[in-house]
Chain A
């Protein structure tokens, strides 16, 4: 049986609240809970906390200033100095969750230049190449190295083209005139220009070349490091001591085996005394330890490398368009300094333009960028002309006379407009379907692509990636998995 209060409540459901209370008071009965909510709903809404009367007209009530209390509350731990940058620049080269690909073969000194590698994915050997590439900052944080078990590269047809050039240089070694080959890598965004540059560097490391890489031209010209005029230079050139010292350190780490085993054969003119019979490593160490001596040390090192019997040189730069315009530095007359007046860029550009040759042969490689490239009309035009020469020789573009021409850049790249093949453009285009299939099989074997790799699937992804753009292919098949 239900308790009596319930029944009483039922019987009063429809009774007016006021009437009910008055009855209750009159009868002296205790108040009981009702099964109705109308009373509370009809009652005046309770005042909200902090709500006051409507503001008077003309009184400013909006206070947008942050309260002092809120400011005092912010006691979060701040990141340590340099922590965020370190995180941003961190290079991850392995992923323990990715599967080991059993069929993956390593590149080695013997097979790196072989044409049989075309269309295969090859691993980069850990101790010889990966460490050296890391030392010269060849890996970029935006590339997908961290997705796979260990670094591996696809030997696409452009890479084989590059390998042939290395073989050409090495083959010319027997003759007196050793070849200097100069190439500019161009292509769409994410088409693998920087990775191809990295492949070139790793070929250089494997073939025991001397590798000097300027990892990012922007860092040289954006006026974030010290600069000073080079004494006795006309027109004035500018050295960058801190940057050069750092570069020497990278060179030392990447080419340590050669530097340790080679003795000085010239007498460098340095302010700091070197013991006679010193190794090149000690020479480089002088430049690293004394930034103000870094440029003379670099010059001395270059002289050493130019002696007969020294290895061929791989000279590389990424982000070429930064080097083909005015830098952010200012001269004493508050005029912008052209990038070609910075000694390091000048050194590179002299070799790219063919003004200076590499006496022991070598390759000068420059990669352009499409995502971080300031306008350099002359460079763009020269690359366009060179591409047109390769593809459609009867339809070569003309210079737009309403554009400002940077005469120094035009002069540097004038070989692109001639028939000589010493300076040329390597067009990094889309992958072929076979190459796309090879890399997608590698994705699948790494456990990153859960799909059977058949012809239809490869064609679909290849088309989605804009006719085999490798960056887009990685994005559509690995990164954007749903």
Chain B
């Protein structure tokens, strides 16, 4: 029987059997490229599971993550950028506020993505939801 102890990484717990890469990418603002860089920095091989990490490595990773702009910090930055556009009264800001395509796409059909994403309070995926 495999004992599944949660390992805490940046304040969130992960199952031991999850890949380190996958668990890193569950944070908003960390994708394939950033996670690859993080793994390389701490000499973790790409197939490593959370459970195989040494305690020191987990601490290092947590310290690194706490210095990075991820999750709500990053979301806030994105939202601030959008709000700035709106406050200046730009076309892009208005389009964001109306939930319509921003970059000159046609609006006759196919604007579901824009409807979903173009908001002032833009959220995104991640461990923390706004």
Chain A residues engaging chain B, CB cutoff 8 angstroms: 81, 223-229, 238, 328-334
Q: Is the CB of B40 within 8 A of A226?
A: no
A332 to B2, CA, bound (A): 32
Instruction: Give the distance to chain A from B99, nearest Cβ to Cβ, in Å.
Output: 27
A218 to B47, CA, bound (A): 15
Q: Which of B2, B37, B45 contacts A227 (CB 8 A)?
A: B45
In addition to A224-B45, A225-B45, A226-B48, 17 A-B residue pairs with Cβ atoms within 8 Å of each other are: A81-B2, A223-B47, A224-B47, A226-B45, A226-B52, A227-B43, A228-B43, A229-B43, A238-B43, A330-B36, A330-B39, A330-B40, A331-B40, A332-B41, A333-B40, A334-B40, A334-B41
Closest 4 interchain pairs by CB?
A: A330-B40, A334-B40, A223-B45, A224-B47
- Looking at A81, A227, A328, A330, the one whose CB has the most chain B CB atoms below 10 A away is A330
- Interface presence of B32 (CB below 8 A): no
Q: Which of B2, B41, B46, B52 contacts A223 (CB 8 A)?
A: B46
A227 to B40, CA, bound (A): 10
Instruction: Give the distance to chain A from B19, nearest Cβ to Cβ, in Å.
Output: 12
- Looking at B41, B43, B46, the one whose CB has the most chain A CB atoms below 10 A away is B43
B residues 2-41 in Cβ contact with A at 8 Å: 2, 36-37, 39-41
A224 to B48, CA, bound (A): 8
A333 to B40, CA, bound (A): 7
Q: Which residue of A lies closest to B52 (CB)?
A: A226
A229 to B36, CA, bound (A): 17
Q: Which residues of B contact A227 (CB under 8 A)?
A: 43, 45
A418 to B4, CA, bound (A): 58
Chain B residues engaging chain A, CB cutoff 8 angstroms: 2, 36-37, 39-41, 43, 45-48, 52
Q: Which residues of A contact B2 (CB under 8 A)?
A: 81
Q: Which residues of A contact B40 (CB under 8 A)?
A: 330-334
Q: Which residues of B contact A228 (CB under 8 A)?
A: 43
Q: Which residues of B contact A81 (CB under 8 A)?
A: 2
Q: Which residue of B lies closest to A242 (CB)?
A: B52
A224 to B40, CA, bound (A): 14
A238 to B48, CA, bound (A): 16
A15 to B2, CA, bound (A): 80
A119 to B31, CA, bound (A): 60
Could you show 29 A-B contacts with beta carbons less than 8 Å apart? A81-B2, A223-B45, A223-B46, A223-B47, A224-B45, A224-B47, A225-B45, A226-B45, A226-B48, A226-B52, A227-B43, A227-B45, A228-B43, A229-B43, A238-B43, A328-B46, A329-B45, A330-B36, A330-B39, A330-B40, A331-B40, A332-B40, A332-B41, A332-B43, A333-B40, A334-B36, A334-B37, A334-B40, A334-B41
Instruction: Give the distance to chain A from B57, nearest Cβ to Cβ, in Å.
Output: 10
Q: Which residues of A contact B48 (CB under 8 A)?
A: 226
Instruction: Give the distance to chain B from A321, nearest Cβ to Cβ, in Å.
Output: 21
Instruction: Give the distance to chain A from B31, nearest Cβ to Cβ, in Å.
Output: 14
Q: Which residues of A contact B37 (CB under 8 A)?
A: 334
A224 to B49, CA, bound (A): 11
Q: Which residues of B contact A332 (CB under 8 A)?
A: 40-41, 43
A331 to B43, CA, bound (A): 7
A24 to B48, CA, bound (A): 85
Instruction: Give the distance to chain B from A151, nearest Cβ to Cβ, in Å.
Output: 33
A328 to B39, CA, bound (A): 13
Q: Which residues of A contact B47 (CB under 8 A)?
A: 223-224
Q: Which residues of A contact B45 (CB under 8 A)?
A: 223-227, 329
A329 to B46, CA, bound (A): 8
Q: Which residue of A lies closest to B46 (CB)?
A: A223
Instruction: Give the distance to chain A from B13, nearest Cβ to Cβ, in Å.
Output: 22
Q: Which residues of B contact A225 (CB under 8 A)?
A: 45
Instruction: Give the distance to chain A from B54, nearest Cβ to Cβ, in Å.
Output: 9
